[in-house]
A = this chain, B = another copy of it.
């Protein structure tokens, strides 16, 4: 179901030969209206892929009729030819659906530098195959078609008061701030303006996808899109909508974290009593990006010294010698000195919780990351991606 759970959306996922495996690699989602409100957030990487450059133009007027996504090639650093490919892809969707190409978002994911004539031909052929396959039953096929090194599709549905939100996501590595190597499509049949969608989406991504930092690497192709059909005719309570949207983003972010390349632990780094939320995020992210800490978690070693060494590199407000650190509920460092012995911490469960108490203020934030494993190195050295 996922993106087709809300009324007014149809989808398809087809195989266009972009993936060498022959798996589905082109996804199409159409909004049938009556509203065509849309909003999107994009990677903050300055090296933006051609589909990002295209989509940023499209979403400017807040009207989105369809979104087409491909795996098997990022169409990034492929020059003006690559930008024309994104444009032609949107045109192919528009021609087939009788809509304007200026209302068609484009997303690509895969290897940077892939986006030549062969890529273009296959994507456009895939669009032509996808159009007749569009159906309210094919949301799952669309979720399958956007997978790259994902081991499973990511989907979620949340019910509101007479309306619903559905979403799909892909992403397995390069998960970092300002989004991740993620493509996310979220749909709703509630009645909302594009400005309302934009505000709700930015608010939700800020505390979900933006706080997932699997490997510190920021993608060139990230895009999180929210589309509203208004098909239920129901204008939702905005706070209620924001909460439900937050839930679906949180679910998809957790699915991305759980399927991160090669990971054997899902680590939640909770920073409490920070002076500001920005401080809490900076501290959490610094620990999330510390390879020595991440390798220690892989080895089930509660090496709190590596946590504090990472905290010490930040500009956040704190006294380095007043901090407490707990791991999976055991306080291993109290006021900057050893507390419970390392042997009392069990890091064997996949779910790992690190609590850092800065003892300064009242702000808090949680950053999600993964451990650094042999499988991560293997997946990212043995194959180009």
Residues of chain A at the chain B interface (Cβ within 8 Å): 45-48, 74, 76-79, 111-113, 173-174, 215-220, 289-292, 295-296, 298-299, 301, 303-306, 308-314, 320-321, 333, 335-338, 342, 372-374, 376-378, 380-384
Residues of chain B within 8 A of A113, CB atoms compared: 304-305, 333, 338
B380 touches A290 (CB 8 A): no
Q: With A79-B337, A291-B215, A374-B374 as given contacts, are A220 and B312 in contact (CB-CB < 8 Å)?
A: yes
Partner of A220, one of B79, B216, B309, B376: B309
Q: Is the CB of A298 within 8 A of B217?
A: no
> A295, B337: Cβ atoms under 8 Å?
no
Q: Are A45 and B216 in contact (CB under 8 A)?
A: no
Cross-chain contact B309 with A45 (CB below 8 angstroms): yes
- Number of copies of this chain in the oligomer? 2
- Which residue on B lies nearest to A45, using beta carbons? B312
- C-alpha gap A320/B47 in the complex (Å): 5
10 contacts between A and B (CB under 8 A): A46-B312, A46-B314, A47-B311, A47-B320, A112-B305, A113-B333, A174-B292, A218-B312, A291-B372, A291-B380
When the two chains form the complex, which single residue of B78, B289, B320 contacts A46, counting CB atoms closer than 8 Å? B320
> How far does the Cβ of A140 sit from chain B's closest Cβ, in whole Å?
29
Nearest CB to that of A82 among chain B residues?
A: B337
CA distance A342 to B111 in the complex (A): 13
Chain B neighbourhood of A303, CB < 8 A: 112, 384
Q: State the CA gap A41–B212 with chains docked (Å).
A: 36
In the complex, what's the smallest C-beta–C-beta distance from A41 to chain B, in angstroms? Answer: 17
Given contact pairs A77-B336, A216-B290, A291-B380, enumerate 9 new A-B contacts (beta carbons under 8 Å): A77-B308, A217-B309, A219-B309, A291-B376, A299-B380, A299-B381, A299-B383, A303-B384, A373-B381
**A85 nearest CB across to chain B (Å):** 13
Closest chain B CB from A49 CB (angstroms): 10
Residues of B within 8 A of A308 (CB): 47, 77, 112, 220
* The residue from B78, B174, B296 contacting A337, defined by CB atoms under 8 A apart: B78
Taking the nearest CB of chain B, how far is it from the CB of A309, in angstroms?
Answer: 5
CB-defined contacts of A338 to chain B, threshold 8 Å = 77-78, 113
Nearest-Cβ distance from residue A185 to partner chain B, whole angstroms: 22
CB distance from A264 to the nearest CB of B (A): 10
Q: A112-B308, A308-B112, A333-B77 are in contact. Are A380 and B217 (CB under 8 A)?
A: no
Q: Could you tell me the distance between the alpha carbons of A76 and B305 in the complex, rounded to whole angstroms? A: 8
| Chain B residue contacts of A217, Cβ below 8 A | 290-292, 306, 309-310
- Could you tell me the distance in whole angstroms from the C-beta of A378 to the nearest C-beta in chain B? 7
Chain B residue nearest to A116 in the complex (CB) = B338
Q: Are A384 and B301 in contact (CB under 8 A)?
A: yes
A290–B45 Cα distance when bound, in Å, is: 14
Task: Let me know if A295 and B380 touch, CB within 8 A.
Answer: yes
B47-A309 in contact (CB<8A): yes
For A290, list chain B residues within 8 Å (CB). Answer: 216-217
Whether the pair A292, B215 counts as a contact (CB closer than 8 A) is: yes
CB <8 Å contact, B337 and A298:
no
Q: Which residues of B contact A312 (CB under 8 A)?
A: 45-48, 218, 220
Q: Which residues of B contact A305 (CB under 8 A)?
A: 74, 76-77, 111-113, 220
Which of A173, A215, A306 lies at the interface centre, i.e. has the most chain B CB atoms within 10 A of its CB?
A306
A382 to chain B, nearest CB (A): 6
Beta-carbon contact of A376 and B295 below 8 Å: yes
Q: Identify the 3 closest CB pairs spanning chains A and B, nearest first.
A: A112-B305, A47-B312, A299-B381
Which of B216, B289, B381 is within 8 Å of A296, CB to CB?
Answer: B381
Using Cβ atoms and an 8 Å threshold, which residues of chain B touch A383? 299
